[in-house]
Structure 1
Amino acid sequence: MSDRQNGFAGSSQENSVGVLNDIDTILFDLDGTLINTIDLIIASFLHTMEVYYPGKYKREDVISFIGPPLSETFELLDQEKVNEMTQTYRSFNLEKHDELVTEYEGVMETLEELEKNHFKMAIVTTKRRETALKGLKLMGIDRFFDVVISLDEVTDYKPHPEPLEKAMAALGSTPGKTLMVGDSQHDILGGKNAGTKTAGVAWSVKGSEFLNQYDPDIMLENMKDLLFHLGIS
């Protein structure tokens, strides 16, 4: 992984509409950005940790697990049990999915306005495609996204630029006109590595102060703030 992927290869924070004047394409992360899967993810990790490491992990311990693919997280714990732990996590996650996933305020209205204003949009996620589509459909926002780049479509995942580049290619977009929106450092660094503008979301479970370390171009307090920054509200 390059220094740029690990470090702060970004532009300064500018909370003004001018920074996004030329944007016509929005790439969204999914979990923790468009749909609230945080309780589901944390519950799934806690369940898995309790199976393999009884009594060792609490909520605050597994928050750091959020962002990378499961394989990367579980490899750090036990390389010999990655597949086993992944299956334990996914079985619980699937069982509890519809019960624990909720919507974020302002997301539906924002997507509707972006569609009306002819913005190109895609999902770029480290989830498997099947699970990503399940969440999009549950929240009723699948109709906005013909392009979904999931873990299944890439060799390298965020912060590597590959998934963002695939999304832009599918949409006929260019980095200079694209914004990456996400709740983790992987989204911000992925955008920077792909040459796009970047937006962090203040409702990230890791907090806006943490995300600001990675120097996103803007920080959104509510998804509807995006409309202001794009000059359409």
Structure 2
Amino acid sequence: MSIKIDTVLFDLDGTLIDTNELIISSFLHTMETYFPGQYEREDVLPFLGPSLKDTFEKLNPEGYEDMIKTYRAYNLANHDLLVKSFEGVYETVRTLKENGFQLGIVTTKLSDVVQMGLKLTGLDEFFEVIVALDHVEKAKPDPEPLLKALDLLDSSPDRAIMVGDNHHDILGGKNAGTKTAAVAWSIKGRAHLEQYHPDYMLEKMADILPILGV
């Protein structure tokens, strides 16, 4: 008999809330500050997903901490101007909550900015657990943040699914032993995610409901 999934872990940026323009503009602002004239929009798309430390340390080993501060200052100042909801996410998450699913967020953002995004989009009422970058030693795709969220929810990998827009989410789920679902509205494109073989591909967030038997 198969075990029923009763726990859903979500990535935040690009999955639940549309932070794409905020993140891209934050990267462009930072790169223009430190590497003037060297980076265009398409050049920063690969930066979406990994932690800021992973991205900036490779580019500027001596000065990456200052780059992180520059990024975060711009990101916070422009957050509410550029962040918006994805269609159907609020309704789907509310339906999952109403049907008794345990819901958590696993993200590479810091927890204070996570709360800003959830409050802005009205999603803050639904999640029992948030595991942010400042709660763990290692970020996705390491299994640590997913396993921490499951532990806090008193759940287990065989009862959970990880939903995300980046290969770090899919690999994180696989490394932790959960089922995985990729979202086709990822800014990196559906084909990018398919090569990591998620268990499911969601065309819209409501597609997860029949998968979970709702």
Band the TM-score falls in, shorter-chain normalisation = over 0.9
Matching residue within 142, 163, 176 for 1:194: 176
Matching residue within 35, 38, 41 for 2:17: 35
Partner of 1:8: none
Partner of 2:194: 212
Note the C-alpha offset of 1:195.
Answer: 0.3
SS of aligned partner of 2:62: helix
**C-alpha distance in structure 1 between counterparts of 2:3 and 2:36, whole Å:** 51
Are 2:198 and 1:227 equivalent residues in the alignment? no
Are 2:135 and 1:153 equivalent residues in the alignment? yes
Aligned 8 A contact 1:46 1:58 in 2: yes
Note the C-alpha offset of 1:122.
Answer: 0.3
Note the C-alpha offset of 1:21.
Answer: 7.0
Partner of 1:50: 32
Given residue 114 of structure 1, which amino acid in structure 2 is its aligned partner? Answer: L
**C-alpha distance in structure 1 between counterparts of 2:204 and 2:77, whole Å:** 30
Given residue 168 of structure 1, which amino acid in structure 2 is its aligned partner? Answer: L
**What TM-score does the superposition give when structure 2 sets the normalisation length?**
0.98
Partner of 2:97: 115
Matches within 5 A, 1:38-187: 38-187=20-169
Query: Deviation above 3 Å: which 4+ runs of structure 1?
Result: none
Given residue 138 of structure 1, which amino acid in structure 2 is its aligned partner? Answer: L
Judged with a 3 Å threshold, the aligned counterparts in structure 2 of structure 1 residues 201 and 153 are, in CA distance, closer, same or farther, namely: same
**Which of 1 and 2 has higher RCO (CA within 8 Å, sep 6+)?**
1
Aligned 8 A contact 1:21 1:230 in 2: no
Note the C-alpha offset of 1:146.
Answer: 2.1
- RMSD of aligned alpha carbons: 1.0
Gaps of 5+ in 2: none
**C-alpha distance in structure 2 between counterparts of 1:133 and 1:63, whole Å:** 24
Identity %: 58
Aligned 8 A contact 2:102 2:128 in 1: no
SS of aligned partner of 1:60: helix
Gaps of 5+ in 1: 1-19
**C-alpha distance in structure 1 between counterparts of 2:3 and 2:96, whole Å:** 14
**C-alpha distance in structure 2 between counterparts of 1:106 and 1:209, whole Å:** 22
Given residue 35 of structure 2, which amino acid in structure 1 is its aligned partner? Answer: Y
Aligned 8 A contact 1:21 1:231 in 2: no
**C-alpha distance in structure 2 between counterparts of 1:142 and 1:84, whole Å:** 30
**C-alpha distance in structure 1 between counterparts of 2:145 and 2:70, whole Å:** 26
Given residue 53 of structure 1, which amino acid in structure 2 is its aligned partner? Answer: F
